[in-house]
Amino acid sequence: MTAEPPAQTPPTIRRASAADVPAIAALYGHHVRHGTASFELEAPSEQRVGERLEAAAARGLPYLVAELDGTVAGYAIANPYRPRPAYAWCLEDSVYVAAERHGRGIGSTLLASLLERSADAGFRQMVAVIGDSANTASVRLHEKLAFRHVGVLENVGYKHGRWLDTVLMQRPIGAGADTPPR
Ligand SMILES: CC(C)(COP(=O)(O)OP(=O)(O)OC[C@H]1O[C@@H](n2cnc3c(N)ncnc32)[C@H](O)[C@@H]1OP(=O)(O)O)[C@@H](O)C(=O)NCCC(=O)NCCS
């Protein structure tokens, strides 16, 4: 008989607070420095990450962390897709999981919760702008959460010595386009 793999403890999903800023800055900074998912070239300071958290809170935007074994294992935020007012009900998600904790369902749990809370807040569409066509993990994560592919912008970024695409994916949330926004 083959032994069952050990069960993974599910993360606790909760709203991010000021106390999480150093952990979020370290986690995101790693991905900025070493990856191509973010098109930032320099890791933002803790102060800047804190300002972004405050700005999200002031606008009622969901900003979540996944806590596992007492530490921040990942975070997710939904930002306005574009600033002009007719886009007011459309968000863009970002999900980042600590490199040593990839592939354990943390990203899926975070994104599912982000979608639910964004829908509850009255938003109608979620867009993913995925840095790098080679980012299979992010594409798969979004497919799993029912995003559909809507296009690829080719070679719009340049980082770590190569041109980078963005993969655009989208899904309705809440009533989607079935009714006017409230
Ligand atoms: C993308 C990311 C958030 C996924 O988080 P995660 O916790 O590893 O994801 P999950 O464990 O919930 O896996 C989600 C799905 O993607 C798949 N997946 C995860 N990593 C994968 C990889 N490297 N290659 C292929 N598929 C992968 C999983 O198998 C799962 O699909 P399944 O349930 O059908 O098997 C994480 O890899 C990450 O932080 N990457 C760097 C930053 C980034 O790209 N963020 C997205 C910005 S839009």
- What pLDDT digit, counting tens, does each position of 91-132 carry? 999 999 999 999 999 999 999 999 999 999 999 999 999 999
Residue 17 lies in a domain: yes
Total count of domains within the chain = 1
Residue 179 lies in a domain: no
For residue 147, give its domain range. 12-172
Residue 66 lies in a domain: yes
> Which residues, at least 6 apart from 90, have a Cβ–Cβ distance to it below 8 Å?
80, 81, 82, 123, 124, 125, 126, 127
Ligand 1 pocket: which of 13, 97, 129 to mutate (most atoms within 8 A of CB): 97
Predicted local confidence at residue 3, as pLDDT: 53
Residue 6 lies in a domain: no
CATH classification at residue 162: 3.40.630.30
Residue 5 lies in a domain: no
Residue 2 lies in a domain: no
Q: 33-70, pLDDT tens digit by residue?
A: 999 999 999 999 999 999 999 999 999 999 999 999 99
What is the maximal distance between C-alpha atoms in the chain? 60
Residues with CB under 6 A from ligand 1: 31, 35, 37, 94-97, 102-108, 128, 130, 135-138, 140-141, 144
Instruction: Tell me if the pTM is above 0.85.
Output: yes
